[in-house]
Structure 1
């Protein structure tokens, strides 16, 4: 069975107009009824950096979690954000973007990779105290436009450092849509073989005509955990072939059906969630 993380946070964070808190809450509560493994629902970062998600704490307080088995994941950019997220027992996963590109790490978090790894170590200690789990996203996981080193061996070196810190969940993240089967396959094949005790996930971006080959490459190389967003929204909505958005959850479900590993989701709730998705992103 494929395990899916639905990422409304990634879909909403760059949206140009503020989505009202009540609409976010209604949408997320619908998603909680679908039955996804994990819901990437919000982030604890500077509201100056991500104003769209400044209401994450308020949203969290209004989520209907009692009847849902879906786990919540919140993204943070530093230790301060992790300390905030750790105050909420409703959150099971705290996600942190660690770039394999030095240039992007500086641009994204104003820190070096070495400093970011120090944050990862301290977040891991924090999670050990609170009973939460850290998810480390290896951003620029399939290459970068800056000329910084990238290869499956580089990914292995980063993973080895994370392994030494006790991190057990790592997601390769296609930050700029650079992934191709030629980069996806060796990355997952080598990492899943070298670190069988680590759960590797794929956070892929795609254009409408390249989604299948990307998912298939990751799947055939051993990946069973995928991130998606209904409608393919995220960063730039997938309006034309030239724009690269999140992997559409609808396509992941289509692939899962094809390979006989479809997750057991509530179809009526999923239909409601798709309607909410269209209402939110069309209206705002």
Structure 2
């Protein structure tokens, strides 16, 4: 069975790093990820440069990325202005993030949950008319740094409203890395009931070392698309000491050893993680595979 891994290091990874890479280096990161087998890449976000300076060169990055028929580039958009920029820049897909809790939504996006739902519905309609694939992410679905626990009912009710935008995919995000497998199963069930037939994607941060377990639980619950970031780069400004998304190479190891295919090449992923660590001035990244190595021996499977 194939599990698709969406490589998010060029966007969600880099935007939370203090070091700002040049456009050329961002494009090289994307090229390396594609060379390692990534076929969906969250490459950029079209947001205000004063809020997220790491993403200020989104148009320049999209103008230089390697174009291939089998590679799809995703741009994050939060409003119609961002969508217009994304369409002009030539992205293949757009993703909109709607936070599950009111306080986090106001702190992170400067808008209420209702306002973001309406923004998503507008984005989805216009993006679909432009021929773009659309996805919507429910952020802080597993827990909020300001309001605490988030119930499956809240996530299910929000998903039901988001489904009116007819997304091609709905993603559940453990934005601050608090989730555990039982939550994964409960949330997947709630979202499946709220939006039957819509493919699900999962986005896990490894803040408390539960991301791999959560990813495997999601796959067992029927999720076939997972987000990951090479080296585990990134983090969350609202989660102190948070690591980034689950490391692509570590997730690949867990999936391959569990009998799933990904189409990714672990050795190239490790090489990319080492490279980006140097570029970011980091002596050590959260990912483990580059230090521990594959098992058994030097086996480096492809597929």
Tell me the TM-score normalized by structure 1.
0.90
CA distance in 1, matches of 2:144, 2:13: 22
CA distance in 1, matches of 2:207, 2:83: 32
| Aligned-pair CA distance for 1:267 | 5.7
Distance 1:147 1:243, change over 3 A: closer
- Residue 160 (structure 1) aligned with residue 160 (structure 2): yes
Matched-pair contact (CA < 8 Å) for 2:128–2:134: no
Matched-pair contact (CA < 8 Å) for 2:127–2:133: yes
Deviation digits for residues 113-172 of structure 1 (CA, Å, limit 9, x no counterpart): 111111111111111211002211101111213337721122111111122221231111
Equivalent residue, structure 2, for 1:121:
121
Equivalent residue, structure 2, for 1:189:
189
The residue correspondences of 1:115-264 to structure 2 (distance < 5 A) are 115-147=115-147, 150-207=150-207, 209-235=209-235, 243-264=242-263
| Aligned-pair CA distance for 1:176 | 1.2
| Structure 1 stretch displaced more, 104-113 or 202-211 | 202-211
- Residue 22 (structure 1) aligned with residue 21 (structure 2): no
| Aligned-pair CA distance for 1:260 | 1.4
Distance 1:235 1:22, change over 3 A: same
Distance 1:14 1:94, change over 3 A: same
CA distance in 2, matches of 1:283, 1:217: 31
Matched-pair contact (CA < 8 Å) for 1:101–1:144: yes
Equivalent residue, structure 1, for 2:79:
78
CA distance in 2, matches of 1:263, 1:59: 26
| Aligned-pair CA distance for 1:273 | 2.5
Equivalent residue, structure 2, for 1:59:
61
CA distance in 1, matches of 2:46, 2:242: 27
Aligned pair count reads 279
CA distance in 2, matches of 1:168, 1:149: 28
Matched-pair contact (CA < 8 Å) for 2:99–2:141: yes
Matched-pair contact (CA < 8 Å) for 1:168–1:197: no
CA distance in 2, matches of 1:14, 1:194: 31
Deviation digits for residues 215-258 of structure 1 (CA, Å, limit 9, x no counterpart): 22212222121000011111269xxxx64321111121012112
CA distance in 2, matches of 1:41, 1:112: 26
SS at match of 2:187: helix
CA distance in 2, matches of 1:110, 1:41: 23
| Aligned-pair CA distance for 1:102 | 0.8
Q: CA RMSD in A?
A: 2.3
CA distance in 1, matches of 2:145, 2:198: 28
- Residue 95 (structure 1) aligned with residue 95 (structure 2): yes
Distance 1:157 1:193, change over 3 A: closer
SS at match of 1:137: strand
Distance 1:194 1:96, change over 3 A: closer
SS at match of 2:150: coil
The gaps in structure 1 that reach 5 residues or longer are: none
CA distance in 2, matches of 1:133, 1:229: 21
SS at match of 1:246: coil
CA distance in 2, matches of 1:166, 1:126: 12
| Aligned-pair CA distance for 1:272 | 4.5
Tell me the TM-score normalized by structure 2.
0.84
The gaps in structure 2 that reach 5 residues or longer are: 284-303
